[in-house]
Amino acid sequence: MSVDSMIRVVVPAILTLALLASPSVVSAGNARQGQPELVNGCVACHAVLEDRLAAPVGLLGDDVHAERGFSCVTCHGGDDSADVESRAKDPTFGYEGAPVGAGMVETCSRCHSDAELMRRFAPAQRVDQATEYAVSEHGRGLAEGDTNVATCVSCHGAHGVRRVSDARSPVFPLNVADTCAACHADPALMAGYQAPGGTPPPITQRADYQRSVHHAALTRGNDLSAPTCNDCHGNHGAAPPGVGDVANVCGTCHTSFAERFNDSTHGFLFDRGCTECHGSHAVQLGTDEMLGDAAPAYCVSCHETGDAGLVAAARMRSSIESLKRSFDEAQALVERLTVAGMEMGDQELELALARNQLTLARTEVHAFDADRVDPIIDAGLGILAGVDAAGVEALAELRFRRRGLALSLVLILLFVVALGFKVRQLDRMSHGGG
């Protein structure tokens, strides 16, 4: 036997023995629950194959299903007995091959829709994913024969499926946008679809999202609860929010803003709700400059000079600016007195209350009613007036202390000078008497 022939025979044999000894190839799937652990014949065979046929074996070590004892036959059917290779792909033993499309959803839902089974392995996990998927944009497309839509493996993977909490999972919060963009940012794939109105669907959602305040909070702010694609669109029931639902979607996080907007005139007029001013994917941090009767305020894009809406916008902006100025002045005064050594703890607490009033005013702006904003501003100005009054008293006290200190220093200096003269006088007298 040649050396090459020996390598072709011996190396696969060694690899197979190593794999047979690995815990990752032990089958304890639900087809063999309670039976002695047996060698997984599927893994033993695929381990010595090449390319894509061997790839799944290398992923089993990180697979949440393999970790819980499920084997290849759980999804693919067949018989994984190592000593009966002829039955591995025998349809009479339930072999189904690689499920695709609706078959994939059905395969996954066999377990994930079984409440009794899921209670044993993941009791906190929902069991309505398949139901949600059926009414999603993806699920409806699949039911209509569209084979390009996402199914379970498009987002979670097929082999090497990891927990959502695993940072390597495609559905970990930091990875969701890239996972969705694998399809939604693909111009060739998306070219076959139409957005409402018959226009081509956008493919810039990921790029837009990466410029948003939400993405900044998620990545730079390390806030894994910050919104990503599935927080607004859903995951298994993924669908674009209807125009009448946008405020409700945003309101799941921004409750106070949504309540005021829904009760406002704009809530009845704007089809796209919050996105009319804030956008959808490239959402930016809201600023006071968005409000007012002159550019760059957003109000001027709809309202004309002199109309009631623009007058109200100008009034609200003016009120907010007056509170901001008063706050900055009071804060500067308190900081100055604190550095000078004055006790200003109570005033610092009052400043925090005034800052809260500024936040409340910016929230109330979403009701688009100046009469609702003014009382909040007045309350904040009242708090700051108290801070200013205390600051004036503290300044007077500081000046008194400084004058007293200066007088004390003068008296001490005069005493030292007089003492010096007296010492010199006594010194001369002592020398004269000697």
Q: Give the DSSP H or E segment for 419.
A: helix 370-433
**HSE-up of residue 60 (Cα within 13 Å, Cβ side):** 24
The residue among 321, 432, 344, 325 whose CA lies nearest residue 395 is 344
Quote the pLDDT of residue 322.
97
Confidence of residue 168 (pLDDT cuts 50, 70, 90): very high
Identify the three-state secondary structure at position 246.
helix
User: What is the distance between the alpha carbons of residues 323 and 4, in angstroms, rounded to a whole number?
Assistant: 85
pLDDT, tens digit, for every residue of 45-62?
Answer: 888 887 778 888 888 888
Q: Is 415 left (phi over 0), alpha (psi -120 to 50) or beta?
A: alpha
Considering only residues 194 and 133, tell me which one the structure prediction assigns the higher pLDDT: 133
> What residues contact 262, with CB distance under 8 A and at least 6 apart?
247, 251
Confidence of residue 321 (pLDDT cuts 50, 70, 90): very high
- Best-predicted range by mean pLDDT (142-151, 393-402, 419-428): 142-151
Alpha helices per DSSP H over 192-241: 205-209, 213-219, 229-233
Domain that holds residue 383: 308-433
Angle CA 109–115–120, to nearest 5: 105
Q: Determine the Cα–Cα distance for residues 340 and 310; give it in Å rounded to an integer.
A: 45
Residue 427 confidence (pLDDT):
82
Q: Is residue 422 part of a domain?
A: yes
pLDDT tens-digit map of 177-230: 999 999 999 999 999 898 877 888 899 999 999 999 999 999 998 899 999 999
Q: How many domains does the chain have?
A: 1
For residue 103, give both structure tokens: 């078959």
User: Is residue 39 a part of any domain in this protein?
Assistant: no
Residues forming beta bridges with residue 319, ordered by sequence position: none
Q: Is the pLDDT of residue 83 over 90?
A: no
pLDDT band (50, 70, 90) for residue 399 = confident
| pLDDT one-digit tens code per residue, 362-377 | 999 999 999 999 999 9
* Average pLDDT for 16-43: 45
148 by DSSP, 3-state: which? coil
The answer to the question of residue 358 being in a domain is yes
Q: What is the mean pLDDT of residues 400-423?
A: 87
This prediction's pTM: 0.77
pLDDT(390) > 80: yes
Q: Look at residue 328 and tell me whether its pLDDT is greater than 80.
A: yes
Per-residue pLDDT tens for 95-113? 888 889 999 999 999 999 9
Q: What is the pLDDT of residue 40?
A: 78
Whole-number Å distance between alpha carbons of 331 and 269 = 40
Region for residue 77 given its phi and psi (left: phi exceeds 0; alpha: psi -120 to 50; beta: otherwise): left
